[in-house]
Amino acid sequence: MGKEIKDLDNKKLLIKKIFNYKFKSEKLLIESITHKSISVNNYERLEFLGDSVLQLIITESLYEKHIELDEGALSREKQSLVSRKSLAKLSIDLGINKLLEATNLNLNSTKSLKISIAANLLESIIGAIFLDSNYENCKKIVTKLFYNLLNKKEIIGKKDSKTLLQEYMQSKKLPIPKYKTIRLESPSHSPKFRIICKVSVIKKEQSCVSSTVQDGQQRVSRLILEKLVSEK
């Protein structure tokens, strides 16, 4: 392999802590954190593999979680999650960049080099875990690492809930949602409305109470979208 890794045991422990994974192949582990400045048996090929595995996992996860998003919105969200900047930030936040084995390499020389190395290292370890175990196990690890990013509230290109629900129903060639408004007993200066929505894919009507009809329609639409996701 070239230069011996003196603190290999500590790096094994750090990988176990970050990824909750213990490598069966020490060779793969070492290769996944070795920079080309040390050996020709470096992480570049694993990075290439890990990039593809990561993109598939993120794509699959977004597809399963966000049934309300069209192809364009899914694509934009995926690109945001797997961008070099996003991967580098995650790698640095988790301490993955501390695993790097390199010589004569000043990561602080340029910001772009630091970002590139951090992102590459994350991808190479994902590639190594994929080879050392299997896709399903690798997916569990990646989705846990990306949990906060995959579950963030702000989705790039996301439309309002009422529009998303209508577009979802139309994409399935189903009748569009029907809304019914009931004015509840309440002071004239503080009105309350019960907004009821019925869609063919859910047996029971869904409803909520709101101070405005418009807000109520958005809220009940969001309830239905969340229910569709949870039942998928």
Q: What is the DSSP string of the chain?
A: --S--TTHHHHHHHHHHHHS---S-HHHHHHHHB-TTT-SS-THHHHHHHHHHHHHHHHHHHHHH-TT--HHHHHHHHHHHTSHHHHHHHHHHHTGGGG-B-SS--TTS-HHHHHHHHHHHHHHHHHHHHHHS-HHHHHHHHHHHTHHHHT-S--TT---HHHHHHHHHHHTT-PPPEEEEEEPS--TTS--EEEEEE-TTSSS-EEEEESSHHHHHHHHHHHHHHHHHHH-
Q: What is the pLDDT of residues 86-134, one digit of tens each?
A: 899 999 999 998 899 888 776 666 677 788 899 999 999 999 999 999 9
1 has a pLDDT exceeding 50: no
Q: What is the pLDDT of residues 176-191, one digit of tens each?
A: 999 999 999 888 778 8
196 has a pLDDT exceeding 90: yes
**171 and 85 share one domain:** no
Residue 156: inside a domain, yes or no? Answer: no
2 has a pLDDT exceeding 70: no
**127 and 52 share one domain:** yes
Q: What is the pLDDT of residues 162-175, one digit of tens each?
A: 888 998 899 989 99
Residue 36: inside a domain, yes or no? Answer: yes
0.85 exceeded by pTM = no
Q: What is the pLDDT of residues 17-75, one digit of tens each?
A: 999 999 999 999 999 999 998 889 999 999 999 999 999 999 999 999 888 777 878 88
Q: What was the pLDDT predicted at 149?
A: 87
How far is residue 137 from each of residues 20, 50, 55, 142, 144, measured CA to CA in Å? Answer: 11, 14, 15, 9, 11
Q: Choosing from 31, 51, 77, 101, which is the catalytic residue?
A: 51
**42 and 126 share one domain:** yes
The count of structural domains within the chain is 2
The reply to whether 51 belongs to the active site is yes
CATH of the domain at 224: 3.30.160.20
The reply to whether 123 belongs to the active site is yes
Higher pLDDT, 113 or 215: 215
Q: Note down the domain range covering 83.
A: 8-150
Mean of the per-residue pLDDT values of the chain: 88
Q: Choosing from 31, 47, 77, 123, which is the catalytic residue?
A: 123
Q: What was the pLDDT predicted at 231?
A: 64
Q: From the CA atom positions of the chain, what is the Rg in Å?
A: 24
Task: Give the whole-number percent of the chain exceeding pLDDT 90.
Answer: 53
Residue 3: inside a domain, yes or no? Answer: no
CATH of the domain at 102: 1.10.1520.10
